[in-house]
Amino acid sequence: MKLNKEEFLADVNAILRGDYACDLASANKKERYNALSKAVMMKAYDAWMKSTQSKQKRCAYFSAEFLMGRAIYSNLLNLGVLDEARKIMSSVGVDLGEFEEVEDAALGNGGLGRLAACYLECAASRDLPLDGYGIRYRYGLFRQTFADGFQHEEGDDWLKWGDPWSVRVEREAVKVVFSDQTVWAVPYDMPIFGYRNGVVNTLRLWQSEPLRPFDFASFNEMKGERIAEENFNATKITDVLYPNDNTMVGKILRLRQQYFMVSASLQDILRKYKKTGKPLSELPEHRVFQLNDTHPVLAIPEMLRLLRLEGLSFEEAFDICSRAFNFTNHTIMAEALEKWDALALKDLLPAVYEQIVTCQQKLEKEGADPNRYYIVKDGIVHMANLAIYVCAKVNGVAQIHTDILKRETFRDWYEKYPDKFVNITNGITPRRWMLLNNPEMAKEIDKRIGTQWHTELSELSKLDPVLTEMLPAFRGIKKKNKEKLAAYIEKAEGVKISPDFAFDVQVKRLHEYKRQLLNALSILYFYYEIKEGRMKDFTPTAFLFGAKAAPGYYNAKAIIKFINEIAKLVNGDEAVSRYMKVVFVQNYNVSYAEKIVCAADISEQISMAGMEASGTGNMKFMLNGTVTLGTMDGANVEICEEAGIENNYIFGARVEDVPDIKKFYSPRQILAENPALKRVVETMIDGTFDDGGTGVLRKLYESIVEGYDPDHYIVLYDFADYVRVKEQLLRDYGTDEFYLKCLKNLAHSGKFSADRSVSDYSRLIWHI
Ligand code: 26W
């Protein structure tokens, strides 16, 4: 796309006149944002129509979450007009940076949702026909604030700036029928721009609305209250994103959301497919579906139901589904594997439930051992089993994760269907996670190896011969990014950190398995060592955290409080805060991540081995030139393969050691043998910290030293090795050797481009 200054400003002014009866001179920021975005949308319209009307085979990515972040800058970048737009706007006195206030579209919780967003962008950039289908939540992931160190949640009103990057397509609304209600699903389409290639795919998000418009006749017949209730129940379905990450909540409203999304999407896709006149039996040659974890797995029985309404037999319908659907698993956490109460499902969706039961019967008829293979058992529907039984391919998201799925989580299924299982290691889009968030670094790389790496990230390895030469520039840019982040943190969090400190960062959802607590305990250990004079030359370090805890996750919230108490102690201690600062930033989200990732020196990826399916934050840091301080878990394993284990800082139990460690695990014994560790652990109960009388810190303490399964994630076991490696890392920090390691990581991050991931999906699964 090209922007002509006069023409573009005329477009913007025309939109301002029509929509707000004003012009650029009098418009406010929100009006400017909407008009500028709409003007770009108008220019992209032809390309969008052309892409969507093509006749090629397409894949539909079904996901309850798309964590898109902010659209404006990345869209302008991908359309190739970011610099031009900046210039044009500044010629009329508008700083494009003013739109940094625009809310993120946070329609996702964490890794799974952000992965979906990266995949859409990368597929468009590789000219792969992939469209997203999901839910247009009125409120995304809650906004987080801290008061007295405790997390508080507020509604996320992401639409308050308007939604100029979507179009409402009311003419394609479909009805979704539950046993007790029928609602409209109205699609909102968001264009997904490929990187400078003219391709535009679509993210279609469904919004629930009442069937009847406001009806005065019934209102006058005194039915007003019932109508109000009906309207409320209809809009309630897509009102809010469930804020749980890795924990299943058996709420019927969530089941409603899932069915709403898949039913609307499939009706829409089938309606369009039927118009092509091709037979339904050929559907899988033209349409395939990727199910992003179990959340959209109801799509399978819903498709069976819809196909049977078209007159197909169960066997015919099953055959189509078994060729069209594929399933990605994103976690081995038992509490995340979705299971629904069979009676509740039957009550809400009788015809869908019937198809599930028929699948179970088919499985039985095939003579499968009912103790090992079941979909419905003891009144529970097992969504992952349904997915594996029907789908053509099942994939894990990093090599170690896929191995665990085969060996443990889905062992029986793997034995029965070995060919279904494939690994596709996750990736990230290098456009948002380098070109956009770290433009200076990108330019520095361009100077040395050209720009091909923008779309073929493995090209970065061409930097290998010039890494040493690049060191001064790398240091300089990193320093500038750190200055910027420090200024932002001072403004947003009210804490001053020095850009001369090492920036040691752990940002991700708050979960016990991710072990933010391990990091916290090490910081407290360093604190006492410094304070009491045992650690004389501690490398000045800023320890940064960002994480949201699910509102009902008690221990996760306790860990936030604990870290905030540590921050208060450390930052308020003049003698120690010369060597360390601790900041837990509020409301960590995609936009905050963009600022943090390019400024980090150390990437903390310290989950208990075997628990983090892949991680994708680890890849973002690597691309931006940080070393990983981590366990051999998830994609860390592959990061070490690519960049060299000697260029990262690996510690802790390996996945194969964990079972033996847990056999005779005694946290008390570890504490007895490590008085320094005992001391920092006991700060949770000895009055060092004040939890406002809530008892959360004591409960946290108890969870790691007491009860039937204390310290489930072996924080205490890994502590000593973690501290040993972390100390080594901090000693290395700042040297040329250290920054060479950082650069080595950057130069070998090619594998982790989601361009590669979507190409793998296309080649191994979608065949598009
Ligand atoms: C039903 C509640 C629920 C909600 C979200 C269960 C499970 C989830 C997600 C599957 C959790 C998730 O986001 N998993 C993460 O997926 C990323 C993308 O593949 C991986 O990189 C992370 O390791 C994994 O934790």
CB neighbours of residue 463 within 10 Å:
20
User: Token pair for residue 491?
Assistant: 């403004």
Mean pLDDT of 603-607: 99
Ligand 1: residue whose CA is nearest its atom 6? 246
Single pTM value for the model = 0.98
Q: Is the pLDDT at 217 greater than 70, yes or no?
A: no
Tell me if 742 sits within 8 A of 474, measured CB to CB. Answer: yes
Ligand 1: residue whose CA is nearest its atom 9? 246
Distance 333 CA to ligand 1 centre (A): 9
Residue 225: pLDDT band by 50, 70, 90 thresholds? Answer: confident
Distance 293 CA to ligand 1 centre (A): 8
Read off the pLDDT of residues 582-602 as tens digits, 9 standing for 90 and up.
999 999 999 999 999 999 999
Distance 64 CA to ligand 1 centre (A): 11
CB neighbours of residue 49 within 10 Å:
10
Read off the pLDDT of residues 695-720 as tens digits, 9 standing for 90 and up.
999 999 999 999 999 999 999 999 99
Q: What is the pLDDT of residue 566?
A: 98
Distance 245 CA to ligand 1 centre (A): 6
Read off the pLDDT of residues 98-124 as tens digits, 9 standing for 90 and up.
999 999 999 999 999 999 999 999 999
Q: Which overall architecture, per CATH, does domain 1-242 show?
A: 3-Layer(aba) Sandwich (3.40)
pLDDT mean across residues, the chain? 97
Q: Is the pLDDT at 667 greater than 80, yes or no?
A: yes
Q: Cβ neighbours of residue 525 under 8 Å, at least 6 residues apart?
A: 676, 677, 680, 723
Q: Is the pLDDT at 216 greater than 90, yes or no?
A: no
CA atoms within 13 A on the CB side of 758: 28
Instruction: Please give the angle made by the CA atoms of 530, 672 and 656, to the nearest 5 degrees.
Output: 95
Catalytic site residue from 514, 557, 581, 726: 514
- According to DSSP, the β-strands at 376-377 and 627-630 are unpaired
Read off the pLDDT of residues 452-504 as tens digits, 9 standing for 90 and up.
999 999 999 999 999 999 999 999 999 999 999 999 999 999 999 999 999 99
Phi and psi at 68, nearest 5°, equal -80, -30
Phi and psi at 393, nearest 5°, equal -130, 145
Q: What is the pLDDT of residue 16?
A: 98
Q: From CA 666, how far away is CA 675, in angstroms rounded? A: 15
Q: What is the pLDDT of residue 226?
A: 85
- According to DSSP, the β-strands at 376-377 and 380-382 are antiparallel
CATH of 243-425, one of 1.10.10.60, 3.40.50.300, 3.40.50.2000, 3.40.50.720: 3.40.50.2000
Mean pLDDT of 64-80: 98
Element (H, E) at 394: strand 393-396
Q: What is the pLDDT of residue 227?
A: 86
Element (H, E) at 331: none
Q: Is the pLDDT at 215 greater than 90, yes or no?
A: no
Q: What is the pLDDT of residue 219?
A: 60
| 744 classed as catalytic | no
| 29 classed as catalytic | no
Q: What is the pLDDT of residue 97?
A: 97
Fold matches, 1-242 and 430-752: yes
- Using CA atoms, how far residue 689 sits from 199, 234, 468, 530, 672, in Å, is 55, 47, 46, 19, 22
Residue 556: name the closest of 61, 110, 1 by CA: 110
Which one-letter amino acid corresponds to residue 172?
E
Q: What is the pLDDT of residue 222?
A: 61
Tell me if 665 sits within 8 A of 732, measured CB to CB. Answer: no
Q: Is the pLDDT at 214 greater than 60, yes or no?
A: no
Domain range annotation of the chain: 1-242, 243-425, 430-752
Q: What is the pLDDT of residue 346?
A: 98
Read off the pLDDT of residues 350-378 as tens digits, 9 standing for 90 and up.
999 999 999 999 999 999 999 999 999 99
| 616 classed as catalytic | yes
Q: What is the pLDDT of residue 40?
A: 98
Read off the pLDDT of residues 135-174 as tens digits, 9 standing for 90 and up.
999 999 999 999 999 999 999 999 999 999 999 999 999 9
Q: Which overall architecture, per CATH, does domain 430-752 show?
A: 3-Layer(aba) Sandwich (3.40)
Q: Is the pLDDT at 81 greater than 80, yes or no?
A: yes
Catalytic site residue from 620, 726, 751, 756: 620
